[in-house]
Structure 1
């Protein structure tokens, strides 16, 4: 047995608590409360880390929001991920250390610095949750959606963790002297156990399906080309997306002062500042609208250097020296250039009109018709002036951004955010032969979920990653999952029952030994 003054105990007490020697009795009485608080904070950090990881697919939304406020393009989401990861690891290790202290029968009086860091961690997470709830509410739908991909495995992990923790719970139960405490411990533990064991009854996932019933792999639409491989909305980016076997180029169209349609996402008071050197080329010029520059002015801008400097997807290191040189010399492309590329490779084009007025619509349609691209390769998305476009170019495929408008016009092409539809709704639309395109899907887990749901296509920044996926991350027949679930639960119950009996016998043996020792101390020695 480890002595009270052993190096291990002294080290544990010194690092973890405020006491280097024997702890006070006050600390011993508060140990249970401190462990509860530490456990709650650790679970909170794990939950927050899960939210951050699931939101990673939409990290550009966070970066864009920060850019619109600070006018500085930095990978703010990566900063958030790093801070959250450090906090989660810290709290988890602290909890493991607390359990080690508990095994040594030491009190859990946290050092004041630990208390401060835990408090700051709770404040940080609270602000993060409040920020999502106020500014990014739709991301909670993504978190709920992610459970369709992770819930079966989270439940399995929960059963394993519950089985491991049961030893400490049973120890506390047997050592408790008050009946009320025993009842409280077992009621809470039983409630948590039932919730974890029976949670599969509530788990619904489209990937719980036999492989024979798996829908075809969704086609890929290159979001502004292939922005992980080249600067977004440049000809290099679209050419790189051709190598990813995309079936459509997704882009954004604006018109210059002299009415030339060109490709650029940013507009308004952020016009050109993020992806070009416009501030250096035209200092002092009004840059709050796309029509403030002529096509000749736009051709003077560099649209690739920013990509090499900011490395938005941490992918520049994967480029060869020649590819980096090419990326650094890109210019603003016209819509006509993209249409010629699409015509050459038999690729469709889908786009947003950033300033969807009648003149922009007319000039854009005229450019498309003059390009000679087959009309069925144009996926017309802008909702304004749609009826006029149908009259001029009836061969365009009309794509809608909500189901009501699509059903009203009797159309069969839908383009919505991936979290806008449930997997049941996607399946229903698929059965009606409606082509459902979901944007923007970058992470393999999300792509797998959309694949299982039956999406026709996805718009993605990561076409180079998703093109190599030959099957979803996982699929499992419902009967197979049911067998695994029941077997795992029964195995856990048997192990916990054995641990309960073993701990009970050990406590009884310890009590008997103490009683024998006390009795022998009263007997007269010979």
Structure 2
């Protein structure tokens, strides 16, 4: 109450009428600006429902690891498909000619390599053989570390399934996507120096995709930028995807049909090029992406976002204006009420003193500075 009525306290001091008018004018100007600011704000979710496009397609980030399964395992991708994901995202590393799924440089976080190969636990994952990788457990860590505090809520059969997950090969991943007719997108990590596939990792991955799996090339959003022209020459049906906001001319010259960008680039649009955002897991951010017309997004929480029937923040321009207009009117009424209250209290206090004085030929009532602060202190507690 005191914060709203500081001009009244100021006007209680001895000052000229012009000074009072100036202070009151500045206060009203600031108040008007605060009232008008919300009416000029922009949000993609301030639109009519009829102009709202379809919801963004969901791509399971490393499967669906937030609550349902250990990342980059077949269980995680199966769960993502069950949650309605249209696509699957992963990370591909190459070892002795076998591409496999692993996000980290080492195996330490998501496998039991510390128990199986303690002397090599911090070695690059790409330097193990496939036979060695197949012996590692890639699911027990999810239950023991419980990264999202949800493992305890899994049914017993799913906990047992998670406990027994192994490292997934690219072939198995692609076959699951082919069977479920899911899109796939992956980062492809180049092997370290000294690796036998250091210079042919792209060709080897393409060979697995084209000759060892039954997935259609049109289901693959090809993200790696290395040797892109060679990749297009080998398989022109792959959906060329860029992870950078390149100039439109460069995108078109490289036959880029999709961009894979961080969600902070939500407003970026390019002609005839769709956008996928990563990683969006909160309903409010999904709502903003939906209102912005984003075509797809990578998420850790497909089981939550797939159940949303409309954006959380959707509001028509008329509803938005009405909401803020009523809020402004209510606030103005409150400000006027506070002013009237203070003026009434001031008048009662002055009349009780029973004295008056003349100043420069004008009849006025004044109090000492200490009395003004005393009255203001009483009012601040009301």
* TM-score of the pair, normalised by structure 1: 0.61
Q: Which protein has the bigger helix share?
A: 1
Q: 1:189 to 1:282 in 2, by over 3 A?
A: farther
Query: 1:223, 1:459 within 8 Å by CA — same for their partners in 2?
Result: yes
Q: CA–CA distance in 1 between the matches of 2:53 and 2:346?
A: 57
Q: Using the TM superposition, give the Cα deviation of residue 206 of structure 1 relative to its aligned residue in structure 2, in angstroms.
A: 0.7
Query: 2:39, 2:324 within 8 Å by CA — same for their partners in 1?
Result: no
Instruction: State the secondary structure of the residue aligned to 1:196.
Output: helix
Determine whether 1:215 maps to 2:53. yes
Q: CA–CA distance in 2 between the matches of 1:223 and 1:252?
A: 10
Q: Using the TM superposition, give the Cα deviation of residue 470 of structure 1 relative to its aligned residue in structure 2, in angstroms.
A: 0.7
Q: CA–CA distance in 2 between the matches of 1:183 and 1:495?
A: 21
Determine whether 1:397 maps to 2:239. yes
Q: CA–CA distance in 2 between the matches of 1:292 and 1:215?
A: 47
Report the equivalent of 2:339: 500
2:303 to 444, 460, 464: 464
Q: CA RMSD in A?
A: 2.4
Q: CA–CA distance in 2 between the matches of 1:292 and 1:222?
A: 28
Report the equivalent of 2:229: 387
Task: Spell out structure 1 runs of 4+ moving beyond 6 A.
Answer: 180-185
Q: Using the TM superposition, give the Cα deviation of residue 172 of structure 1 relative to its aligned residue in structure 2, in angstroms.
A: 4.1
Determine whether 1:329 maps to 2:171. no
Number of residue-to-residue matches in the alignment: 342
After superposition, residues 373-522 of structure 1 pair within 5 angstroms as 373-401=215-243, 402-404=245-247, 405-422=250-267, 425-426=268-269, 429=270, 432-515=271-354
Q: CA–CA distance in 2 between the matches of 1:286 and 1:308?
A: 20
Q: Using the TM superposition, give the Cα deviation of residue 280 of structure 1 relative to its aligned residue in structure 2, in angstroms.
A: 2.0
Q: CA–CA distance in 1 between the matches of 2:297 and 2:158?
A: 26
Report the equivalent of 1:177: 13
Unpaired segments ≥5 residues, structure 2: 192-197, 356-382
Q: CA–CA distance in 1 between the matches of 2:258 and 2:41?
A: 30
Query: 2:239, 2:257 within 8 Å by CA — same for their partners in 1?
Result: no
Q: CA–CA distance in 1 between the matches of 2:15 and 2:116?
A: 79
Q: 1:167 to 1:197 in 2, by over 3 A?
A: closer
After superposition, residues 108-147 of structure 1 pair within 5 angstroms as none
Q: 1:381 to 1:512 in 2, by over 3 A?
A: same
1:366 to 184, 207, 210: 207
1:237 to 76, 83, 87: 76
Query: 1:169, 1:185 within 8 Å by CA — same for their partners in 2?
Result: no
Q: CA–CA distance in 2 between the matches of 1:464 and 1:179?
A: 66
Report the equivalent of 1:89: none
Report the equivalent of 1:320: 155
Q: Using the TM superposition, give the Cα deviation of residue 273 of structure 1 relative to its aligned residue in structure 2, in angstroms.
A: 1.6
Determine whether 1:306 maps to 2:141. yes
Q: CA–CA distance in 1 between the matches of 2:69 and 2:2?
A: 49
After superposition, residues 55-134 of structure 1 pair within 5 angstroms as none
Q: Using the TM superposition, give the Cα deviation of residue 188 of structure 1 relative to its aligned residue in structure 2, in angstroms.
A: 7.1
Q: CA–CA distance in 2 between the matches of 1:497 and 1:202?
A: 25
Query: 1:170, 1:503 within 8 Å by CA — same for their partners in 2?
Result: no
Query: 1:403, 1:414 within 8 Å by CA — same for their partners in 2?
Result: no
Report the equivalent of 2:376: none
Q: 1:185 to 1:308 in 2, by over 3 A?
A: farther
After superposition, residues 333-344 of structure 1 pair within 5 angstroms as 333-344=168-179
Report the equivalent of 2:104: 266
Unpaired segments ≥5 residues, structure 1: 1-163, 517-526
Question: Which whole-Å deviations, capped at 9, do the CAs of 1:455-489 have from their partners, x for residues lacking one?
Answer: 00000001111000110002122233223322321
Query: 1:439, 1:458 within 8 Å by CA — same for their partners in 2?
Result: yes
After superposition, residues 20-39 of structure 1 pair within 5 angstroms as none
Q: Which protein has the bigger strand share?
A: 2
